[in-house]
Amino acid sequence: MDFEHRICVNEYGFYCVPVEYDNREIPKLLADGAVYEPGTLQLMRRRVSSGDIVTGGAFIGDFFPALCEALDPDARVISFEPNPLSFAAAKQTIALNGLTNVTLHPVAVGEAAGQLPLQLSRKGGSASAARARIVESGDEGETVNVDVVTLDSLVPADRQVSILHLDVEGFEKPALLGASRLIQDNAPMIVLEAEKRWQRNMYLDFLGEHFPALGYRFCGGMERNAFYLAQDR
């Protein structure tokens, strides 16, 4: 590896943590042997059934050991991470744990294929790390152009998907629009980063507008995340 890093461990496995990320929330928790969003992980592990979990951005792969352990033999974790340093760390997390049922792609996801700037640091040089996000232009701190694909193109049509989990820093709506086929075909449990009530209501309205036949309903919030289930699921 060509970046300075440390190896952390918790009850689920081992994690490659770039030293550059030491001041971020997740690396601090991992350094203490703790689990980030343990309730969300436990719920996803219980709800996965026999299908795949589509999750991203992956950051350093801190969800991978727990989720991969809960899968049926033929199921997979399918993930993405556009930040080059985070992607490299996540690949090492996969290797450290000997995970063979996860596929990780070095891309962002959106409504259509293309390229967009990913903000790696804010103006003035403050590192975004886990909060790296797609921005409208390349003049907002340090950015790097990244490939954007749709989740419908990333996830093969013959895969059964039980859970769609997105933490993409405000880019959730384009990501969901790019997953129209995946959602229509599978009606997965959808987990979105949405800490505020207005955010949770906004996504409920969005799902109702774009996937009315599935009858998605808001089923509660936990650890900054909102959980949506389709009718009769």
pLDDT at 187: 98
pLDDT at 62: 98
User: Which residues, in sequence order, are CB contacts of 89 under 8 Å at separation 6+?
Assistant: 3, 5, 16, 17, 18, 21, 59, 60, 61
pLDDT at 127: 52
- Give the tens place of pLDDT for each residue, 58-101: 999 999 999 999 999 999 999 999 999 999 999 999 999 999 99
Predicted confidence (pLDDT) at residue 133 exceeds the cutoff of 70: no
d(CA 28, CA 6): 12
- Give the tens place of pLDDT for each residue, 166-194: 999 888 999 999 999 999 999 999 999 99
Pairing of β 52-56 and β 77-80: parallel
**Which of the four pLDDT bands, split at 50, 70 and 90, describes residue 120?**
confident
Q: How many domains does the chain fold into?
A: 1
Q: Please give the distance of CA 209 from its chain centroid, rounded to a whole number.
A: 23
Q: Tell me, what CATH number does 73's domain have?
A: 3.40.50.150
> Within 13 Å, how many C-alpha atoms sit on residue 123's CB side?
5
Lowest mean pLDDT among 126-135, 190-199, 200-209: 126-135
Strand extents, DSSP E, the chain? 5-9, 14-18, 52-56, 77-80, 102-105, 108-109, 114-119, 133-134, 143-149, 161-166, 189-193, 217-222, 225-229
Name the 3-class secondary structure at 29.
Answer: helix
pTM score, whole prediction? 0.92
d(CA 58, CA 167): 8
**Which of the four pLDDT bands, split at 50, 70 and 90, describes residue 209?**
very high
pLDDT at 125: 52
Q: Which domain holds residue 121?
A: 5-229
DSSP assignment letter at 194: -
